[in-house]
Structure formats: C-alpha cells, structure tokens
Structure 1
Amino acid sequence: MDLNLGLNILNKFMKNLNILLIGFGPHARRIYYPIIKNEEKSLNAKIVYAVDLQSQKQIIEEYLQKRSEIIPIYYIKNTYKKILNNKTVSALNKVIQEYKIDGVIISTEPLSHVLYADWALSKGLHILMDKPISSVINSSTSEKAAEKIFNDYKYLKVSYLKAKKRYGDVIFSLMAQRRYHPAFQKMKNLIQEVFQQTNCPITSMQSFHSDGQWRLPSEIIDIEYHSYNDGYGKCSHTGYHALDIVPWLIDGAEAPDKKINNVDIFTNFIRPKDFISELNLKDYKKIFPNFTKYNIYKEKEFRNITKNYGEIDAFNSFAFKHNEDTITLGSLNFNHNGFSQRGWLKPKADLYKGNGRVRHESYYIEQGPFQAISFISYQSTEINSKKKNKLFDIGGEYNLDIHVFRNNNLFPKWKNYQKFSIKDLDRNIIKGYSRGHQEDARRKCIVEFMDLIRKKNIKSISDYLDHERGTILLANVYKSAARRFKNKNPVVNVKF
C-alpha cells in the first residue's frame, strides 16, 4: 500500500471528531457531555461547542464551573419551538465552519428536534438525536396534531435521503438505548431461536414502565422539564422506549405469510384532572404539614389550567394484525405517578435523577406454547453511587433478571428454565466501570455513533429509518387519546 494513502486512512480513523451539542439540559449533562468528556482520548471525539436557551445559562455555567471546565456556548434568547430564525441559522452555520464540526448531538426539547435535524442534514452533518423524533403541541387532545408526529417522521425521512444522496453516507441515529442493552438483545436472540425452530411469532407481550417521578400539584403546572403543559406527557418521555422496542422485538419473529401490516390501538390516559382526584389537596395537607404554604393553586384553578394538559400515566392496548387476523396482542403501560422515594415537599434541583425517581420496568413475552420470557428490573431506592451492597438483588440499583421458560417436552434439547442476570450480560458492571446498565447502553450508542462517522464497517442498530414503526405507534396512541378526549370512538386502526 502507498505510504501516503495508508497515512490518510489512518488519519481518517484517528482524527479527533468535533461535536456540536444542541441542548445542554439534564439529559445532556448526565449522559452526553460527561461520557464524551471523560473518554475524549479513547473516543477521539470532543464536544467543542454547545447551544441552549438563554434561560438555562446560569444552570449550565454552574454545572461547568463545578467541573472546572469551559466550553463556548451560543445562547438563544427566546424559545425555539416553532422556527429557527435567520440569526440562529447564521450563527450555527458560522460555528460549523469555524469549529470544523463533524457531527451534531440533538438533545433539546423534542418540539425542536425536527428543526435542528433538518438544518443539520442540509449541511451534511452526522446526527445523534434523542428520542422521540418529534413531539407536537396538543397531540393528546387534537387528532391533527397527533397525525403530525408521523408526518414529521416522513418529512425528515425525505431530508435524510436527500442528504445521503448529496453528501454521501450521512449518519442519522436515534438514542434508543434499549436496542443497545444486552438484556434486550438477549431477549431478541431467544425469540429468534424459537422462531427458527417453530415459525411461531410473538403471540402476546406486556410491558410496564414506572419512573416514580412524583410531582405535587403546583409542580405539574410550574416545572417545565418532562412537563405536560404542551399537551403531551409520559408516552413522549420514557414511554417511547417501549413503543420502539416492542416492534423491534416483534421483528425478530415475523414470517412473510404472517407479517404484521396493520394494528388496532386503544388507549386510556390519566391526566392532571384525574391525578388531582386520586390525591386531592386535603390529602396532601395530611401528608405534608406545610403543604398549604407551598401549594399555589386551588383545585378549581388547577383543573382549569390543566384541562388540555398531556398524560401523566398511559395504559395502551394493541392488536398487531396480518390483514384481518390478529398475530400479537400487546399491552404497553407507562406511569409517571408510580412508586417513588420522594419524601420531601420542595423538589430538588436534579429532576432527572435526584428527586426520588425510582425505576420499575418489566416485560412478559409469550411465543405460543413454546416459550415465555419474563424481564424484571425493580429498584427500591434512588441511585446512590456510594451504595455498593446488594446492587443486583430485587430492589438494588442494578437489578435486572430475565427468566426463560421453554417447552422441553416437545424439544428435549431446550432447558425448561433459565435465568440470566445483568451480571451475566454486562461485564462492565462486574469490572466496576458501570454507571448503571441503562447508562452503559447509552454509552454504546455514543461509541457506535463515533465509529459510524469514521465509516467503520458496522451497521447502525438505531438508524433513523428503522424508527418508522415506533413513530406510528406513538402518533396513533395520541390519536386514540385525542379521539377519547373529544368523546369519539377511541379505537384507531393504522397501517404498520
């Protein structure tokens, strides 16, 4: 090989990648920035510039000051939910030239995802973007707004394909970390094994996620992080993970003559008006002696302000069908208002992890008479880096177990029961490198993104184009909710 050619190839792989971070909020401060900063040398990547709202300047500067770090940041004065004005576009264009930007991480409020992704694609920049692809104001109360979620997907799909044609192999990945999680990859492999031997699809699936994000009534109105005031809530927050992973798992056992091509969707939401009936102001006064001093809104005022707010909890039923025949029944249920470890009246500064948030997550998957898979991950306390005991037990920070049951009377080579712990699947946890198995999965997504930019011979696990089905589910869960909100028939059927 020619020496200069070899050096050029080596430089391509070793070149330090310059990353623009758009959105420096709680998720970026916990995941993107520290992971990339702490692993700059191994990743050969660096966040060289950031963008956020002027209103967040003090919080971001305090965060960087605590870390004794400096990064240039462009602050936008006003909200950027609707448009990118010419001044902002001009500033961003200048940044990508001056700082030789290779890729963009988009971690803003989802209302702004499409705007920034469209701009980045027009410049041929590689993108790693938070889920969901899009959120739309009033999507839980307006059918037209709900439909726009999938229209946004289609719009960016066109932009993405144009960018690929114009600039070459542009990368556009989504941070859907469960696809990178070894437990979900293990479950998909187990499903594929049984499918290959029996041709049996997934016949039913139940999913549950609760994050214990307990907010008191005034906070429902006044706290903007993972809020409800734009007419959507839990399904667009952590709920999208299940809406994405369920079709991803189903895809592991789809035969051509049983391929799912449409789905019936029926949903029920708990909205703030229901929430205030579950625990009313009198109840809160008994629980918190100083509640009256802290509470801002009377019940009538609360109900009036929140009447068009989005969902706190969502229970969703699905019938995944091949033509007229149901192949897979699904129940995907999401709670913000679930088991929590919050025991204080005033919220703490860290709302992402630090305000009593505790995760409970489970899946139960059946493949007819051949296999049942139970996934359980239950925490009993909030994450505490100092706690080192019983981390893998039920209630521990790292708890995650998969129980597998198989019909070994029919197939004697199968084991009738197996258990897989996260210790068996994620070696980083054992070695002491882990920040939690979900964070490990997020890190894998970030590493993959950098490798994809360098054109290493790998395929993206979470390419934008692979999120069509998940986006269809999200859009039509909201369409069902919007129909119920207007007292219409809430059952929605949609092509899949």
Structure 2
Amino acid sequence: MEQSYHLVVVGFDEIVANKYLPSIQAAKNAGHIESYSVLDLEYERQAVDARLRELTFKPETVFYLPDPRQRTCWDDPGAFVPILEQLRSQKHQLRIYIATEVKAHEPYLRYCVENQVDSLVEKPVVAPMLDGRFDPNRIEPTMQRLVRAAAARPAQHSVMTLSRYHPIYNERVIDALRDRMLAQEAPLTSFHLRAAGGVWNLHREFEEREDHPYKYGYGMLMHGAYHYVDLAAQCLSLNATVFPSLELEASVSSFGAFPRDQCSRVPVKFAQAFDDDAPGWSSRGENESRFGETDIVSVFRVREVASGRTVTLGTLSFEQTTPSIRHWKDIPPNLYNKNGRTSFVDMEAQLSTLHTVNVQCFDVPRGAGVAVDRIDAFARVSTRTNAALLNDECFNTEETFEGLFHSDSNRRLMQRWLSRSEDRSRLADHLLPMRITQALAVSLRVPGQPVTFRLL
C-alpha cells in the first residue's frame, strides 16, 4: 500500500482556502495525506490567521517567514530551507504545493527539483527577476535548467493551470482536433485566441498590490493570460503530431497597453466616480512606464525552417480592459473577486480548407451587489466543415454547455496531483508555453517588431 505524505502549502491565500482545501481534506480522508502545514510571510500573518480560524480542517503547523520585500528576493532559501528540512526529518515524505505570488516560485521549485520533493506550482511556472524587476529574457534558460535537473532527479513536478483538464478546451476541442488532423493529414493553418479578462484595477491599486502586482514590471501575461498561452501552445503543438519531422519556428509581434494609458481608456465620468482620474497618479513619476501591461495584442506566423513556407497564421489577444462587474471604489473586506473580473474567451482553430472549430466561453455572474464571488460559465462550440468533400459531415454544427465552472478543471488537476496520478501538466510540458510567454513579453518591449523563436 502506498504511504501517505505530509503536504506543505506555501502561500495560503483565498484561492487555497476556498477552492483547494476541500480537495486536500478529501485526500486526507482517502489516505493520501497524513497532515499538512502552511508556510507564508510574516506580513500576511493577520490575513492567514483569520482564514485559518474559519477552518475545521486545520494545518498541523504554521510557519511565517520574515518580510522579504526590502531585499528584492521575495523568498530567501536561507529562511525557508531550514523549515522544509526540519519537516523532512520529522515526516517520512513531503510534497509541496507552491501557491506564492509568481515572482517567488523559482526558489521553492528549485529546492523541490534539487531535493527530489514532489511539487505542484501555480501558473506561470517562473517570473525571473533581476534587481527587483521582471526579466523576461531569463524565462527559457531558467525553465531549461529546471527541466534538465528534474529529469536527472526523479520526482513528480506539475503545474497548476486551467487548460489541461478542461471539459471544453481539452476534451471537447483539442482531442477532436488531434483526431481530425491525423485522419485528414491536415495541418493547423489558422489559430486565433482572445481572452478578455474583465479586470478593473484603480491606479492606486497598481502600486499597492503585492498579489498580482504590476509594479515589478510584469502584468497580464504573468497573471491570468498564462492559462490561455498554455491553451494556444497545446493547439499549436498539434502540428508536430501530424508532421513530426518538420522543424517549425514562430515569429510574434505585439502591442500593449499599460497602467499609464488607463486615464485615456476609461471614460472620465466613471473614473471620477472611483476617485481615479488624477493625471499624476504614480508616486514613481517618470518611472510609471516600468509597470507591467494590462493588455497585449499579438500577431504571429509559424513557418517551416527548411523551406520558409508559412504553415500557421494567427492572433493572440489578452486584455484586461474589457467589461467588468466592479462597481465599488474601495475593495469590500473578504471579497476574493476584488477587481470585478469576468472573462470571455473566443478561440478558433482552422484546418486548411477543410474544417474550423470555434469555442466561446464566458462568465455568467450570479447575484447582485458585492456578492460576485459566485460566477458560472457558459460555452458554445460551433464548427464549419467542407461537408461536400468529407463524407458523413455537416456543414455547420453548434453545441452549448451550461453550468460550467472554470475552477472545476483546476480542482481536477489538484485532485490528480494529490493522488499521485497527474500526467497532463508535468513541468516539462510547460517548456513550450513558457517559451511563448517569453517571446510575447520580449515583443512588448519592441512594439511592432518581430521576435522569432523555435516552436517545434
């Protein structure tokens, strides 16, 4: 019989408490987990203690680390390694769930890889920092080192993201595309994905926030957009299934919008209602241009390296300045959906002159006032096919799906990882999505100029 293990949760925010703790408790009841501990930062003690008081399933131990913000390293191995080593000496086996802010992922993940401790890290995998600022050029080298080290030191390392166990994106769309591409020997020739985040932050919140911050030089890409970069990577990699001998490279060109642009993009009368219309909003003055992006729109091409022929054309759009459900100036206490986010995703994948599938998935808020933490999702999947050429096909089809919850796919991944059966979102599987993330982030720094990278 497989032995149970001690789980360490690094970063105990609202998501962990509300979304994943029931899965952790179920794993305890199933005998996978013997107990769990929490590791967080000292300046979060009050908020974490308040969450823990509400729980019936409490951690065995809680550890708080010194505030690292003044040292620009965010998580000092000298502070957390002794705690983890102490737990390893006391427990027969550790597994670690890394749920910190993304800028602190790397040292914890590196510890897990080097010490063969199973890990689950939140998306995106890493956000390398240099002198307190996001350095996108270091994403792939960091990932390569981690992936190589993990291959040499066997343990299970997985990444928490939306689009690996999603009933629509993965099981209804990608699986069907793969089967069709193999049957018809057709490449993916067009791919368009737009994710509208519906996020409304006020200017002061861009400076204040330590969770999903913009002040360290990263924004939408290293926040919610990674779910959909990962989805795009899975779709684009389907060409390797059909044409495994091809060497493909991609070029991407991008434009972005930033916090400094918000006063020109939000109508004045609504900004005034939020006391958010001051032109000199940033205490950083001329350095306000160093904030991370709120929106990014990109166009890309995938081509054969040997022949130079274009295989795939497409667009990627990750925007937060889209319809929100925020109507409060000050964030109400205990509200998870602080900035009123409500998303809409529109994805279309086309196989040459034969077939196209389009999926739209959007949030359906329930309730009124500030009770906006319950949000369902609705999906519509439609296809267009050359039925005159392909037997037993329809020219057009449409299916709708109601009562979805995006978080269900995250929970499925968590449950699989807790039971040691996760196999769709391993660390090595995220090398391509993180490579695309790097290209997009770098292209934002040279607006309109192409950035080329190896795709497959």
Whether TM-score is above 0.5 comes out as yes
Contact 1:218 1:296 in 2 (8 A): no
The aligned residue for residue 243 of structure 2 is 256
Report the CA distance shift for 1:68/1:190 in structure 2 as closer, same or farther (over 3 A): closer
Cα deviation for residue 35 of structure 1 reads 2.5
SS of residue in 1 equivalent to 2:251:
strand
Structure 1 residue matching 2:376: 3-state secondary structure = coil
Matched, 1:265 2:252: yes
The equivalent residue for 1:490 is 449
For each residue in 1:1-25, what CA deviation from the matched residue of structure 2 results, as whole angstroms up to 9, or x when unmatched? xxxxxxxxxx21xx43321111112
Q: Does 1:60 align with 2:48?
A: yes
Aligned CA distance change for structure 1 residues 231 and 383 (closer, same or farther; 3 Å): farther
Equivalent residues, number: 444
Q: Is this contact kept in 2: 1:24–1:52, CA < 8 A?
A: yes
Do the aligned partners of residues 243 and 351 (structure 1) sit closer, same or farther apart at CA in structure 2, a change above 3 Å counting?
Answer: farther
1:25-40 equivalences in 2 (<5 Å): 25-38=13-26, 40=28
2:9 aligned with 1:24: no
Matched, 1:397 2:376: yes
Matching of residues 190-209 of structure 1 within 5 Å = 190-209=176-195
TM-aligned CA deviation for residue 258 of structure 1: 7.2
CA separation in 2, counterparts of 1:276 and 1:66?
Answer: 40
Aligned to 1:361: 345
TM-score (norm 2): 0.89
Q: Under a length normalisation based on structure 1, what TM-score does the superposition of the two structures give?
A: 0.82
Looking at secondary structure, tell me which structure has more strand per residue: 2
Is 1:444 paired with 2:412? Answer: yes
Q: Distance in 1 between matches of 2:254 and 2:84?
A: 40
What residue identity is the alignment partner of 1:359? S
Structure 2 unaligned spans of 5+: none
- Name the counterpart of 2:444: 481
Structure 1 letter corresponding to 2:357: I
Aligned to 2:68: 79
Cα shift readout 1:202-241 (whole Å, capped 9, x = no counterpart): 1111111122221112112112221110101001111111
Question: In the alignment, is the contact (CA less than 8 A) between 2:25 and 2:57 conserved in 1?
Answer: no
The residue aligned with 2:398 is 419
* C-alpha RMSD over aligned residues: 2.8
Match of 1:336 in 2: 320
Q: Distance in 2 between matches of 1:27 and 1:47?
A: 19
Q: Does 1:461 align with 2:451?
A: no
Match of 1:433 in 2: none
Aligned partner of 1:8 in structure 2 is none
> Which aligned pairs between 1:21-420 and structure 2 lie closer than 5 A?
21-38=9-26, 40-42=28-30, 44-45=32-33, 48-71=36-59, 72-79=61-68, 82=73, 84-137=76-129, 145-164=135-154, 170-185=155-170, 186-254=172-240, 255-256=242-243, 259=246, 261-279=248-266, 284-285=271-272, 287-288=273-274, 291=275, 298-299=280-281, 301=283, 304-323=286-305, 324-350=308-334, 352-353=336-337, 355-381=339-365, 397-420=376-399
Measured in 2, the distance between the counterparts of 1:307 and 1:252 equals 38
> Which residue identity is paired with 1:468?
L
Counterpart CA distance in 2 for 1:197 and 1:322 is 22
Q: Distance in 2 between matches of 1:220 and 1:74?
A: 29
Taking the aligned partners of 1:118 and 1:270, their CA distance within structure 2 comes to 33
Question: What CA distance in whole angstroms lies between the structure 2 residues aligned with 1:55 and 1:22?
Answer: 14
Q: C-alpha displacement at 1:101, in angstroms?
A: 3.6
- Give, in whole Å, the separation in 2 of the partners of 1:330 and 1:88: 44
Give me the whole-angstrom Cα distance separating, in 2, the residues matched to 1:74 and 1:463: 28
Task: Give unpaired runs (5+ residues) of structure 1.
Answer: 1-10, 165-169, 424-428, 430-435
* 8 A contact 1:140–1:310 mirrored in 2: no
Whole-angstrom CA distance in 1 between matches of 2:299 and 2:227? 16
User: Which 10-residue stretch deviates more, 249-258 or 400-409?
Assistant: 249-258
Structure 2 CA distance, aligned partners of 1:440 and 1:65? 26
